[in-house]
A and B are shown apart, each in its own frame.
Chain A
């Protein structure tokens, strides 16, 4: 089975899975885990968007 993900979708799926593991493993209680997981996810996706715009600006 093969499937095609867009670059953005692939980055979001990656961010979601990595943030889940980071949140659970790097913090001690549930509340902090959720907050840290959300923080990592926001940084991952935010980083992708910033990098995309930077590449767009370099090209134009």
Chain B
């Protein structure tokens, strides 16, 4: 009986350990996925919706998507923020979206939208990690 309980505890611990790695990675790659794979359906969908709306509204406003750079500090930070969107960022880069438009005032808002979408997604991925390790329900 004790052996069965020990095995069950070990299995649960191993699952929790692997989830602690998989959940934040999945959440980073696809916004909300870290919550969805832990059966937090509504939270996952809301997070996905929030990040997707921010990212695509930013692109719609002709915001700029930063590439990897070693130039101006703000450009480097822009890249760090952008890459937080995970797969969305790589798709945008691959499709050549987000060239920016300095002639439109709203395009600058778009650039900030895209950066903040990435930063919000990082917060979501950290939250998925907290759920995986049992720090949060």
State whether B61 touches A14 (Cβ < 8 A): no
What is the interface residue range for chain B against chain A?
Answer: 20 to 34
Q: How far is the CB of B36 from chain A (nearest CB, A)?
A: 13
| Size category of the binding interface on chain A | 10 to 19
Say whether B124 faces chain A, with CB atoms less than 8 Å apart.
Answer: yes
A-B residue pairs in contact (CB < 8 Å), sample of 22: A2-B60, A4-B106, A5-B57, A5-B106, A10-B109, A13-B54, A14-B116, A17-B53, A17-B120, A18-B50, A18-B120, A21-B47, A21-B51, A21-B124, A24-B43, A24-B46, A24-B47, A25-B123, A25-B126, A25-B127, A28-B136, A29-B137
- Which residues of B are at the interface with A, using a C-beta cutoff of 8 A? 43, 46-47, 49-51, 53-54, 57, 60-62, 106, 109, 113, 116-117, 120, 123-124, 126-127, 136-137
Complexed CA–CA distance, A16 and B57 (Å): 13
Tell me if A58 is interfacial: C-beta within 8 Å of chain B: no
Q: Which residues of B contact A54 (CB under 8 A)?
A: none
Interface of chain B: mostly helix, strand, loop or mixed: helix
Taking CB atoms, residues of chain B closer than 8 Å to A3 are: 60-61
Q: Looking at chain A's contact residues, is the secondary structure mostly helix, strand, loop, or mixed?
A: helix
Q: Which residues of A contact B43 (CB under 8 A)?
A: 24
Given A2-B61, A20-B47, A24-B43, is A10 in contact with B106 using a C-beta cutoff of 8 Å? yes
Enumerate chain B residues within 8 angstroms of A17, measured Cβ to Cβ: 50-51, 53-54, 117, 120
Cβ of A1 < 8 Å from any Cβ of B?
A: yes
Q: A4-B106, A10-B106, A14-B54 are in contact. Are A21 and B120 (CB under 8 A)?
A: yes
